[in-house]
A and B are shown apart, each in its own frame.
Chain A
Amino acid sequence: MPEASQQLFNYLIVGGLVFALGTIGFIVRRNLIVMFLCAEMMLQGVSISLVGWGRYHDRLGGQMLVLFMIAVAACEAGVALALIVMLYQKSGKLDVTFWQGVREEGRAAFVDRNVPRELDREDHWPRLTPAGIEPTLDEEAPLHRSRV
């Protein structure tokens, strides 16, 4: 195998792996932000393969395309994150299964019965060394602002 092909092969393996990881993550995870990150990862997998092909043909077209993709992905990330923020503000949840409104009328909603119970203990969070001044929390204010 010539070296150029070997190099392309490596690029493609890495790109394919990244894409596959992103796909699997997009399907199995339910957190909106994580799903979004997975989608970005799929995009990066494709970018890697494009860069690999660009090197292989010794042209800058692939890299140029990747730059273009990054710019588009940035915009897309802005829009997607804004949407996620809005959704979060409406419901206080990041769980994608919370948004099932488009399901067929009369069909029972999906309720995940395998949610691991949250631990009661407070001390399972890592304890960090305090630094600065601890802000005083307003007891009246809710943890998040929920508004329609």
Chain B
Amino acid sequence: MFAIEKLILWIPALPLLAALITALLGPKFLRSTCHIPAIIGIGASFLFSLLLLTEVRREQDAAPPGGFERIVTVWNWANLNDAYEHAEAAQPPRAVPLRIDVVMRIDALTSMMLCMVTSVATLVAVFAAGYMHGDRGYWRFFSYVSLFVFSMTMLVSVSNFALLFVFWEAVGVCSYLLIGFWYEKPEAAAAGKKAFLVNRVGDFGFALALFLIWTTYGTLDFHDSQSVDSIASNATAVAADDSLIAASVANPGTSGVLGKARIASGGYVGGAVGFVICALLLLGACGKSAQFPLHVWLPDAMEGPTPVSALIHAATMVTAGVYMVARCTPLFMASPDAQVLVSCVGGLTALLAGLIALTQWDLKRVLAYSTVSQLGFMFLGLGTGSLAGITAAMFHLFTHAFFKAVLFLGAGSVMHAMGNVIDMRRFGGLRRIMPITYGTFLIGSLALAGVPPLAGFWSKDAVLGAVHDKLHLYEQQIELRHAQGGGAADATTDPARAGIGGLETLTDGQLVCGIQAYGWLYYAATLTAFLTAFYTLRALLLTFHGTERVPHEAHGHAHESPASMTFPLMVLAAAACIAGLFFDQTYNASLPSGQRHSFAAFLASAPQLAAGAVGKTPALDSFHLSVAATSVLVSLAGIGLAMYLYLGDTREVRVLTSLFNLDGVVQSLDVRRVFRWRWVAALDRMARRAGLGLVATVTGYLLGAVLIVVSAPLLVAMYVSPYRLSQRKFYFDELYDWGIVRPLRGFSRLLASADRWLIDSLVNFVGAVPPAIGAVCRRMQTGLVPFYALAMLLAMLLLLASQL
């Protein structure tokens, strides 16, 4: 047996070590071999993660019903006695110490995230060894990547909100460093800043959520801490059993926010406070995972090196928000409104990003918007608040990591061959030049589009099925209430009226609202699936099919990438092929219930998903034939449409583009055409001949004015035509620029001028007083000895006189 308490420490330690080695020795000694420590460190970390995973799998079977977790206390970081007078309902106020331990946790969620992060990171590091070859900042790159992997592994394995926040920021910093890796390029520097600042908004919400959690629950730990004595001994393994839970309930000071005791006893605050906590956590997650109001940074982050885009902005860092929401499931379960909010944000983002991705010309940007869209899918799944939805979202996260990494690395391979050109209008038909890249990109695209039996199909279908189930559950609950013939007001008090799947506490209004929301979201998600299939295939066809075109930046030797780049592509493509089929066997009715979806069953052993309100909800266990059929049909329709439009002649594309660009409206607004109409001109000539030239002119002007007033909405429509909206990303950047950046800049200019004129002049005035006094006094400095003598005498006389 491996000591998993040791393993969990080695997993982040190795990348950190690699980062230090690369940073210290890289520029002088390692030079072009900087990738070796990084690959070894991250790769070993991946192997350890796999070991950890198998150990967790082995041990979770023997775990008590509350789920399996193991807590490893590394050291005590901060300890403030009596930091806060904490009052919880029905308990006397008591002083709570602010105690922050560096605590790692081992459970299903963590081990799965660790495997996902380190596996993708290893392959990306191998890819980058080829892609970044010859870059001036070679050592810097691998140092940052290792540091990033360290931060991310710590993020998913710490067991404390404060530390989660620390590493939340750490991955943000690494992301900033890597986006702005080519900092001499102004766009890259600006994109790094933008990502950092937009993330600050989310982190602000996250920090507020932490404060609120602290004041509400009196602790920041996830886990139930034992008494102080046992914590003092390092590396304490907590073997959870029922007696501990009982002890923790008796002494709630030691029960963590997401600990087993609290989950078992259901001690979560709902209502307004619960909703605000969840909404603020969601804001934080939105920042990191690029969801609707804060999604603007991710597409710009494509300025970074492509391996970074694959690693951070497709596979790992952006999933931090999803992980955090999944980890905080018990908190979200306490606030159904917040769950609807999560779903709505996710669904809206998915649709919005899908629409934007339709018209982008930049290959990496299409992929970036598709990432945003798929993350929206994950949030949609998380927001259903059922075990099925949450595990489906995590499953989608897992499969998405592989096929999105394939797509991004494939795009990197294309960029590598095309001399850093990424505009899809400038190249095409590359499938003969780069067969391996083409094959892997094709697999990734089909997986993303949701074609069975590739990975994307299973996970997307699981999310859609979960939303569908949730909708169904709400409807059932409403029917149940109607059958019982009463409102929900006394449903909580009457056990006979208990509803289904933890919905009994909802009011009728919430149910109706939820039905509406989830109904719309289901349709939005289905539409997004169609859009996803379309734009993915569009990118694929524009890049690899059609006539062979190579930009002159490639210098005429466009070629397939070296083995170090194609090997990760092939591995990831293979993973994208089998990851779904391997874990998801919900179609196989012969397996016993609870084992059909081995991934979901594995995840469900995490304490946050095993017990409490979420445990009562349906698990991911059944295959929705109708949902799957719809999504497959929709995907195939999208693929078919893309193939029809982009294979061969692109006449239809031009027609569609001009249609969606409202070109007809533009033409109809051309006033000069009116004069080309013969009878108008004739009428004009007749009027002039009859000596009514003035009348004709005035009438013409009046008619023109009327025309402008009438067509004003059309003019607006011209500027916000559907095509333009999509092409210009729904004007979000302009909106934020005019709505936030410019007012803020104006405000800061005002403050700067106030500082310059008001504060500075005050300070300058104070500074001017001593020179003014000095200017008077300096006249006395004559340098004449008799004068000094006289002054001395007079001063002496003055002193004497004052003594008298």
**Contact yes or no, A97 B789, CB < 8 A:** no
Minimum distance in angstroms from B301 CB to a CB of chain A = 61
Cβ-closest chain A residue relative to B786:
A27
Of B778, B785, B790, the contact of A99 (CB 8 Å cutoff)? B785
**Contact yes or no, B786 A102, CB < 8 A:** no
Of A28, A104, A109, the contact of B786 (CB 8 Å cutoff)? A28
**Contact yes or no, B790 A27, CB < 8 A:** yes
Cβ-closest chain A residue relative to B777:
A104
**Contact yes or no, B784 A110, CB < 8 A:** yes
Minimum distance in angstroms from A19 CB to a CB of chain B = 12
Taking CB atoms, residues of chain A closer than 8 Å to B495 are none
Taking CB atoms, residues of chain A closer than 8 Å to B778 are 104, 107
Of B782, B783, B793, the contact of A23 (CB 8 Å cutoff)? B793
Q: CB of B555 within 8 A of chain A?
A: no
Q: CB of B764 within 8 A of chain A?
A: no
Bound complex: CA A107 to CA B781 (Å)? 9
Minimum distance in angstroms from B755 CB to a CB of chain A = 35
Of A26, A27, A35, A100, the contact of B783 (CB 8 Å cutoff)? A100
Do A103 and B786 contact each other (CB < 8 Å), given the known contacts A23-B793, A27-B793?
no
Q: CB of B678 within 8 A of chain A?
A: no
Taking CB atoms, residues of chain A closer than 8 Å to B782 are 100, 103-104, 107, 110
Cβ-closest chain B residue relative to A32:
B785
Taking CB atoms, residues of chain A closer than 8 Å to B779 are 104, 107
Within 8 A of B (CB), among A19-38: 23, 26-28, 30, 35
Bound complex: CA A27 to CA B785 (Å)? 9
**Contact yes or no, A96 B786, CB < 8 A:** yes
Taking CB atoms, residues of chain B closer than 8 Å to A102 are 781, 783
Within 8 A of A (CB), among B783-804: 783-786, 789-790, 793
Of A27, A103, A107, A109, the contact of B789 (CB 8 Å cutoff)? A27
Bound complex: CA A104 to CA B790 (Å)? 18
**Contact yes or no, A30 B786, CB < 8 A:** yes
Bound complex: CA A22 to CA B685 (Å)? 120
Cβ-closest chain B residue relative to A101:
B783
Taking CB atoms, residues of chain B closer than 8 Å to A96 are 784-786
Taking CB atoms, residues of chain B closer than 8 Å to A26 are 789
Taking CB atoms, residues of chain B closer than 8 Å to A28 are 786
Bound complex: CA A136 to CA B790 (Å)? 45
Cβ-closest chain A residue relative to B790:
A27
Taking CB atoms, residues of chain A closer than 8 Å to B783 are 99-104, 107, 109-110
Taking CB atoms, residues of chain B closer than 8 Å to A104 are 778-779, 781-783
Minimum distance in angstroms from A49 CB to a CB of chain B = 16
Contact with B along A92-121 (1 / 0, CB 8 A): 000011011111100101100000000000
Bound complex: CA A35 to CA B786 (Å)? 10
Taking CB atoms, residues of chain B closer than 8 Å to A97 are 784-786
Bound complex: CA A109 to CA B781 (Å)? 11
Taking CB atoms, residues of chain A closer than 8 Å to B793 are 23, 27
- How many chain B residues touch A (CB < 8 A): the figure is 11
Minimum distance in angstroms from A111 CB to a CB of chain B = 11
Bound complex: CA A82 to CA B793 (Å)? 26
Bound complex: CA A28 to CA B787 (Å)? 10
Minimum distance in angstroms from B111 CB to a CB of chain A = 79
Taking CB atoms, residues of chain A closer than 8 Å to B785 are 35, 96-97, 99
Taking CB atoms, residues of chain B closer than 8 Å to A107 are 778-779, 781-783
Taking CB atoms, residues of chain A closer than 8 Å to B789 are 26-27
Bound complex: CA A29 to CA B779 (Å)? 23
Cβ-closest chain B residue relative to A103:
B783
Bound complex: CA A30 to CA B789 (Å)? 12
Interface centre among A26, A100, A104 (most CB of B within 10 A): A104
Taking CB atoms, residues of chain B closer than 8 Å to A27 are 786, 789-790, 793
**Contact yes or no, A103 B790, CB < 8 A:** no
Cβ-closest chain A residue relative to B774:
A104
**Contact yes or no, B781 A100, CB < 8 A:** no
Bound complex: CA A144 to CA B789 (Å)? 30
Minimum distance in angstroms from B169 CB to a CB of chain A = 56
Bound complex: CA A107 to CA B790 (Å)? 20
Contact with B along A1-45 (1 / 0, CB 8 A): 000000000000000000000010011101000010000000000
Bound complex: CA A28 to CA B790 (Å)? 9
Bound complex: CA A110 to CA B790 (Å)? 16
Cβ-closest chain B residue relative to A24:
B793
Cβ-closest chain A residue relative to B780:
A104
Taking CB atoms, residues of chain B closer than 8 Å to A30 are 786
Minimum distance in angstroms from A97 CB to a CB of chain B = 6
Cβ-closest chain B residue relative to A99:
B785
Within 8 A of A (CB), among B180-239: none
Bound complex: CA A100 to CA B790 (Å)? 16
Taking CB atoms, residues of chain B closer than 8 Å to A101 are 783
Minimum distance in angstroms from B797 CB to a CB of chain A = 11
Minimum distance in angstroms from A64 CB to a CB of chain B = 27
Minimum distance in angstroms from A125 CB to a CB of chain B = 29
Cβ-closest chain A residue relative to B781:
A104
Minimum distance in angstroms from B295 CB to a CB of chain A = 66
Bound complex: CA A103 to CA B787 (Å)? 11
Cβ-closest chain A residue relative to B782:
A103
Minimum distance in angstroms from A45 CB to a CB of chain B = 14
Bound complex: CA A24 to CA B784 (Å)? 16
Bound complex: CA A1 to CA B222 (Å)? 102
Minimum distance in angstroms from B469 CB to a CB of chain A = 91
Cβ-closest chain B residue relative to A39:
B789
Taking CB atoms, residues of chain A closer than 8 Å to B781 are 102-104, 107
Cβ-closest chain B residue relative to A30:
B786
Bound complex: CA A110 to CA B793 (Å)? 21
Contact with B along A50-91 (1 / 0, CB 8 A): 000000000000000000000000000000000000000000
Minimum distance in angstroms from A130 CB to a CB of chain B = 40
Bound complex: CA A23 to CA B789 (Å)? 9
Cβ-closest chain A residue relative to B783:
A103
Taking CB atoms, residues of chain B closer than 8 Å to A109 are 783
Bound complex: CA A100 to CA B793 (Å)? 20
Bound complex: CA A11 to CA B722 (Å)? 116
Taking CB atoms, residues of chain B closer than 8 Å to A35 are 785
Within 8 A of A (CB), among B750-786: 778-779, 781-786
Bound complex: CA A99 to CA B781 (Å)? 13
Cβ-closest chain A residue relative to B787:
A110
Taking CB atoms, residues of chain B closer than 8 Å to A99 are 783, 785
Bound complex: CA A103 to CA B781 (Å)? 5
Minimum distance in angstroms from A51 CB to a CB of chain B = 23
Bound complex: CA A70 to CA B785 (Å)? 25
Taking CB atoms, residues of chain A closer than 8 Å to B786 are 27-28, 30, 96-97
Cβ-closest chain B residue relative to A38:
B789
Taking CB atoms, residues of chain B closer than 8 Å to A100 are 782-784
Cβ-closest chain B residue relative to A97:
B784
Taking CB atoms, residues of chain B closer than 8 Å to A110 are 782-784
Minimum distance in angstroms from B241 CB to a CB of chain A = 88
Minimum distance in angstroms from A3 CB to a CB of chain B = 29
Minimum distance in angstroms from B788 CB to a CB of chain A = 9
Bound complex: CA A35 to CA B785 (Å)? 10
Minimum distance in angstroms from B773 CB to a CB of chain A = 14
Cβ-closest chain B residue relative to A28:
B786
Taking CB atoms, residues of chain A closer than 8 Å to B784 are 96-97, 100, 103, 110
Taking CB atoms, residues of chain B closer than 8 Å to A23 are 793
Bound complex: CA A26 to CA B796 (Å)? 15
Bound complex: CA A102 to CA B788 (Å)? 11
Bound complex: CA A35 to CA B779 (Å)? 25
Cβ-closest chain B residue relative to A26:
B789
Cβ-closest chain B residue relative to A110:
B784
Minimum distance in angstroms from B783 CB to a CB of chain A = 3
Interface centre among B781, B783, B790 (most CB of A within 10 A): B783
> What are 6 residue pairs bridging A and B, where the CB atoms are less than 8 Å apart in the complex?
A96-B786, A100-B784, A103-B784, A104-B778, A107-B778, A107-B781
Beyond the given pairs A100-B783, A101-B783, A107-B778, 7 more chain A to chain B contacts, judged by CB atoms under 8 angstroms and listed by A's residue number, are A99-B783, A102-B781, A103-B784, A104-B783, A107-B781, A110-B782, A110-B783
Nearest 3 A/B pairs, CB to CB? A103-B783, A100-B783, A104-B781
Give B residues with C-beta under 8 Å from A. Answer: 778-779, 781-786, 789-790, 793
